Amino acid sequence: MNEILRLGGVTKRFGGLVAVADAAIAVTPGRIHGLIGPNGAGKSTTISIISGFLRADAGTIRFGEHDLHRMLPAAIAALGVARTFQQAAPLAGLSVFENLLVGMHRRYRSGLASVLLRAPRARWETREIAASAWELLELFGLAPLADTDARLLTFGQLRFLEIARAIAMRPRILLLDEPAAGLNQLERDRLATLIRRFRGEGIGMLLVDHDVPFVFDLCDEMTVMNFGSIIASGDPTTVRNDPQVRAAYLGADDVAGSG
């Protein structure tokens, strides 16, 4: 099945504030869907609703045949929908390598008893998972830091560890919440290369970021939100030239001139 994440009529209120109003978005494996808008537009709220950290007041959230509306975050992740957070935070007291292994725990098929007794299948799984973790560390440039306490990483290194941990879950859909925030240009270029690689491997992405040229350069589809409502959607060229998008960004050059 070609799983698709689809939101229809999703609405979320916080008291009298409508944070998300009647949102409809679709994300498909192997495609990158950009979600942009000014501060407070409802972008991160939308990601939290999809991933189960917030519950919508109305609307539908489906992934393939599954209704995500009332599912817990762990159950949604188990289906193949992973996310990153704006504030990358490692698991305290664990090394970089151990932090990444945590993201791979769902790969185990052996029961707890088999793992504790070091049964042959459990030992084989452990070796395979460790090898996969090393491959990801090398891909993200973190292999030299494998034994380092993750709390000692730089901001950019933490950001890459956060994304690597999400990729370690082998998601079909990845929700990226401000992944380029705080990165320098070299790190942003590396991140863009990785995102393109994962798209080529069939992972679909919903990408939220304030770096508008970064998003426009990467995405296959775009959705623009303002004050909780979707004001434009379509391919990047169509969205870039939309009058409402220009108005929402006050005619910012980074929208009009991105390419």
The pLDDT value given to residue 46: 96
Q: Are the C-beta atoms of 250 and 243 separated by less than 8 Å?
A: no
Bridge partner residues of 243 (DSSP): none
Q: What is the CB neighbour count within 10 angstroms for residue 164?
A: 22
Cβ-proximal residues to 121 (8 Å cutoff; 6+ apart), any chain: 109, 110, 114
pLDDT, tens digit (0-9, with 9 covering 90-100), for 171-230? 999 999 999 998 999 999 999 999 999 999 999 999 999 888 899 999 999 999 999 999
Strands 5-14 and 17-27: antiparallel
**Taking 70 as the threshold, does the pLDDT of residue 26 lie above it?**
yes
Closest CA to 234 of 36, 21, 60: 36
Tokens (6 digits) for 85: 């957070």
The pLDDT value given to residue 2: 67
The pLDDT value given to residue 112: 38
pLDDT band per the 50, 70, 90 thresholds, residue 44: very high
**Taking 70 as the threshold, does the pLDDT of residue 231 lie above it?**
yes
- To which residue do tokens 């929402």 refer? 248
The pLDDT value given to residue 114: 43
**Taking 80 as the threshold, does the pLDDT of residue 88 lie above it?**
no
Highest mean pLDDT among 117-121, 148-152, 246-250: 148-152
Angle between helix 155-167 and 185-200 (nearest 10): 10
pLDDT, tens digit (0-9, with 9 covering 90-100), for 52-75? 999 999 999 999 999 998 899 999
The pLDDT value given to residue 203: 96
pTM, two decimals, is 0.87
Tokens (6 digits) for 104: 């791979």
Mean of pLDDT values over 132-156: 93
